[in-house]
Amino acid sequence: MDLNNARDRLNALKVEIEEMSKNSSSGRQAVVLDQQSVGRLSRMDAMQQQAMAQAQERNRAATLVRIDQAFKLMAQGEYGYCLSCGDEIVERRLEIDPTATHCVACKGG
Ligand SMILES: [Zn+2]
């Protein structure tokens, strides 16, 4: 596992997520403001959109936590090893998800 490469990818992912959060937080505010003036149907649409935006925001927050955890594991020299069984996490898996903390066997995929 190339740690520098993984660190770069985690940093890039973090920046990307923070950008998306910034963009969508103004979107969420707009939805709230519009609710007074729109009809019932579009209000439901707006609420659905808001719920979706909130779910996405939660996902992003969870990913940021995982990224920070990955950085912590790197600092401890334990990045790339399964937190359950201690086996090395295959590189292919870390390529797909650089925040993975469990091997395929322990995570089930
Ligand atoms: Zn494992």
pLDDT in tens, the chain (109 residues): 689 999 999 999 999 999 998 887 765 565 555 555 556 678 888 889 889 999 999 999 999 999 999 999 999 999 999 999 999 999 999 999 999 999 999 986 4
**How far apart, in Å, do the first and last CA atoms of the chain sit?**
19
Residue 38: closest CA among 51, 49, 52: 49
In angstroms, rounded to a whole number, what is the distance separating the alpha carbons of residues 8 and 14?
Answer: 10
- How far is the centre of ligand 1, averaged over its atoms, from the C-alpha of 106 (Å)? 4
SS3 content of the chain, % helix, strand, coil (to 5): 70, 0, 25
Helix (H) or strand (E) holding 22: helix 3-34
Give the global pTM.
0.77
- How far is the centre of ligand 1, averaged over its atoms, from the C-alpha of 85 (Å)? 4
pLDDT of residue 107: 86
CA-angle at 73, arms to 82 and 106, nearest 5°? 15
